[in-house]
Amino acid sequence: MWMNCGSFFRSIFLLLSFHQVTHVLAQSPATYSSGEILHGIQKLKVAASVLYIAAHPDDENTRLLTYLSKEKKYRTAYLSLTRGDGGQNLIGKEQGLALGLIRTQELLAARRIDGAEQFFTSAHDFGYSKTKEETLKQWDRQKILAEVVWVIRQFRPQVIITRFPPDQRAGHGHHAASALLAAEAFDVAADSTQFPEQFQYGVKPWKTTRLLWNTYQFGSGNTTGSDQFHINVGGYNPLLGKTYGTIAALSRSCHKSQGFGVSAQEGEMKEYFVNVKGDSTEKDFILQLDHYRPAYTIPFLRQVEKIEKSFQLTHPAASVSKISKLYQFLKSQSNTEWKNQKLNELLTLLEACLGLQADAFTQQEFAVKNDSLQVQCTVLHHSGLPIRLRSIRLSGMQDDTHNLNRLLIPNVILKDTFSCYVNAHSPEIDPACSIVFELEIDGMKYTLTKPVVYKFTDPVKGEIRWPLTVVPPIAFSIQPSLLILKDTGAPTVQLEIKRYANQFDRKLNIWLQNRKESCLLDSIFLTAQQRQVKLSLQLSQQFLRDSPFIRLTESGNTYHQSVRQIEYDHIPRMVYRSDVKLNPVKVSVNVAAKKIGYINGAGDEVPEAMRQLGLMVEELTEADMTLSRIKQFDAIVMGIRAYNVHAWLTDAHKVFESYVKQGGVVLLQYNTASSVGPLKNKQWPFAFTISRQRVCEENTPVTLLQPSHPLLCFPNKITQVDFEGWVQERSIYEAQPKGEGFIPLLSMNDSGEASQQGSLLVNDLGKGRFIYTGLTFFRQLAAGVPGAYRLWANLVANPDFSTLPLQP
């Protein structure tokens, strides 16, 4: 039974296409060395394709992808079922949607390096899962199966390779589910009775010849075997000037949010495979792929071989005429499975051999709805051959053509400018608009399409190119949007209004509204000289119910979105819009602390959550690690993965120990025991280790092992009710104490597993206490879970309340 997929497959196609082209938008115009051009000519002779399938960004085997793409020159792609939005973040505070955007761009950056293509499905990364059954239930098995089938029918691989097996050896329910769905899709994609609605979008049933499992050795787990087929993916490519180990390491190191920077592995690198489905008569699938030749390629191959033999490394333009004739020959042939792919490769080779640079950019950071946009176009070539620029056409926001019919002079830039209007219905996807260059090369017409980018110069980084994004004239944000209501008072929020429109002299009305009623909070006049306005608003609790939100109005227009930006050096800047909503949560909570010192880790929103409780929070650095400095705080809290990002924390142990003995509280949130950070060093005077144990079922019952312990009694009495409404998971990276001293306070487990007691441990030392927790407070507090706030207030309460705060 297939869903109504008319609009669905249009959105999927746009989604896949979008994430294949956005990587171009933030890059300088591509240039190619003579070695890379020759490598591209050799690739024309190869028709085989391989699709690699796994669950997450960073699951892919970049060593194998690099070898298949660069050495064997197969068309290679990775299908990640999720975008990793339920994972963790080592480089910032982003979680959920924002983290998924980061990890998507990290995947695209990796593909730019290893040469493979990238696809996704809409499967949601809902966090760690221990079974494929839970995963498939969360994902909607039929929906995700249909999307995997769509990618197979669109990409048409000869061989599919999975990273994981469909069982417990995969180590993660998402991993096992990805292998199971790949095996199902292998059969279903060839069946014309399955998901026939897809055929109206240009795909056909596709029979893949083989399904393989790429076995592995991760840590102590080894699924490889001497009876398995294996290949050596190591080696050096003289045309590219790099080893495959170097390329693979550069690709792998793009996953910076996951802390996956690696060194290059050189020399022999073996990859092992098990045949799962399909033709197994030929064990060597590489030999099978090397012999794959569609019928139409024989005359095509002969011409490619002539181009390869005559190619001049010091004069690539000498091959332009032959490449142009081959392009026209292939264009005249009937449609085949590889025609469009090879036409695109030939067009890229033409650009490269000519040293042709066609560029389209604006110096306006955003394309603003109901406003104008100036686009600059430049064309330059270095070949010395006659090239005529017939026209330049603006596509996307509006259609406008400049007929030029100009002969391009080598090494002289031809410039043109477009002025366009960004109407209210302009697409809010990247690229926002494109420029189509129509050229005449060697007597033949060609079109090149380039996305319009925002280009500027940074005084430190040099030229920066960012995707051009469509934004509304007015956007705004509210801090905090999560409102912890401890009493009946009117909470105060900070409203920040940002003007993107070039001209705007109007009165803005600010409304607080829910589904039943609304009230006018304030009115301001925004002038052309004001780009940004900040003001405080008091919100009546009468309106903080029934899905409340804030909107701005003026002259019949309504604004209700924020414009958010994500910016890191290793990926393009990302801009996304979201509706501004309020999330009021009533919490009956007592607070017995006043001042908290917070040591940021990899990034979380816990300090903001504590401020919602009325606590004063100061963020501390290495320079603050003295006893006289930290004694002024009721508790010192370490952010998630603090030991993974701060080597200096180990040196502060003696200070922490003295602080605790004098009555302070040190609260350590979860860390990982990986080689990412300095956890190989001693964490604390107490003996405990960090495991990989976790409890994934967010609603699993919790047993209070010490119900009368102060941490469960003061200032809030913790009961089973406080563990209701938790999100994604209960705990991760639980602790395992060694020897005496630690007291476990909670017990919990996933279905069918033994009880675990490492989610919340306390060790009293002198007048104070040290606490380790694997409970996912960073998720629960951000989600507004009342019980998490009550328990957190207990954890940061000082043991000796009569001496708050501690005196130096």
* Chain segment 288-303, per-residue pLDDT in tens: 888 887 766 788 999 9
pLDDT at 397 over 90: no
pLDDT at 70 over 80: yes
762-789 confidence digits (pLDDT tens)? 999 999 999 999 999 999 999 999 999 9
Show the beta-strand stretches assigned E in 442-491: 444-451, 453-458, 462-467, 469-471, 474-479, 482-485
Summarised one tens digit per residue, pLDDT across range 133-164 is 999 999 999 999 999 999 999 999 999 999 99
Q: Secondary structure of 263-320 in the HEC alphabet? A: CCCCCCCEEEEEEEEECCCCCCHHHHHHCCCCCCHHHHHHHHHHHHHHCCCCCHHHHH
Q: What is the mean pLDDT of residues 230-246?
A: 96
pLDDT at 663 (0 to 100)? 94
What's the pLDDT tens digit per position in 717-757?
999 999 999 999 999 999 988 767 899 999 999 999 999 99
Q: What single letter denotes the amino acid at residue 164? A: F
Helix %, strand %, coil % for the chain, to 5? 30, 30, 40
Question: Among residues of the chain, what percentage have pLDDT more than 70?
Answer: 92
Selection from 27, 112, 14, 106 nearest residue 451 by Cα:
27
pLDDT tens digits, 616-625: 999 999 999 9
Report, in angstroms and rounded to the nearest whole number, the Rg of the chain calculated over CA atoms: 30
CA distance 536 to 115: 50
The reported pLDDT for the residue numbered 194 is 98
| pLDDT beyond 50 at 11 | no
| Strand residues in 527-672 grouped as ranges (E) | 532-538, 549-554, 557-559, 561-566, 574-579, 583-586, 595-599, 616-620, 635-638, 665-668
Judge whether residue 2 has pLDDT over 80.
Answer: no
pLDDT band at 370 (very low <50, low <70, confident <90, very high): confident
Residue 802 has pLDDT above 60, yes or no: no
**176, 292, 380, 428, 741 from 229: Cα distances, Å:** 22, 20, 50, 48, 52
pLDDT tens, position by position, 522-557? 999 988 788 899 999 999 888 898 889 999 999 889
Query: What was the pLDDT predicted at 803?
Result: 38
Four-point Cα dihedral 761, 260, 181, 170, nearest 10? -50
For 168-203, the pLDDT digits (tens) are: 999 999 999 999 999 999 999 999 999 999 999 999
C-alpha to C-alpha distance for 175 and 163, rounded to whole angstroms? 8
pLDDT exceeds 80 at position 282: no
pLDDT at res. 804: 37
Q: pLDDT by residue (tens digit) across 43-61?
A: 999 999 999 999 999 999 9
Higher pLDDT, residue 798 or 678:
798
Helix, strand or coil, per DSSP, at residue 21: helix
pLDDT attached to residue 677: 43
Q: So what's the pLDDT on residue 741?
A: 82
Say if residue 300 is exposed, middle or buried (CB neighbours under 10 Å; 0-12, 13-18, 19+).
Answer: buried
Average pLDDT on 203-220 reads 93
pLDDT tens, residue by residue, 637-667: 999 999 988 989 988 999 999 999 999 999 9
Using CA atoms, how far apart are residues 29 and 42, in angstroms rounded to an integer? 23
What token pair was written down for 681? Answer: 């060093």
- Given a cut of 50, whether residue 808 has pLDDT beyond it is no
Alpha-carbon distances, residue 520 vs 202, 340, 517 (angstroms): 52, 57, 11
State the chain's mean pLDDT as an integer: 90
b/e 271-284 (16+ beta carbons within 10 angstroms → b): bbbbbbbbeeeeee
Are 748 and 756 in contact by the 8 Å Cβ rule? The answer is yes
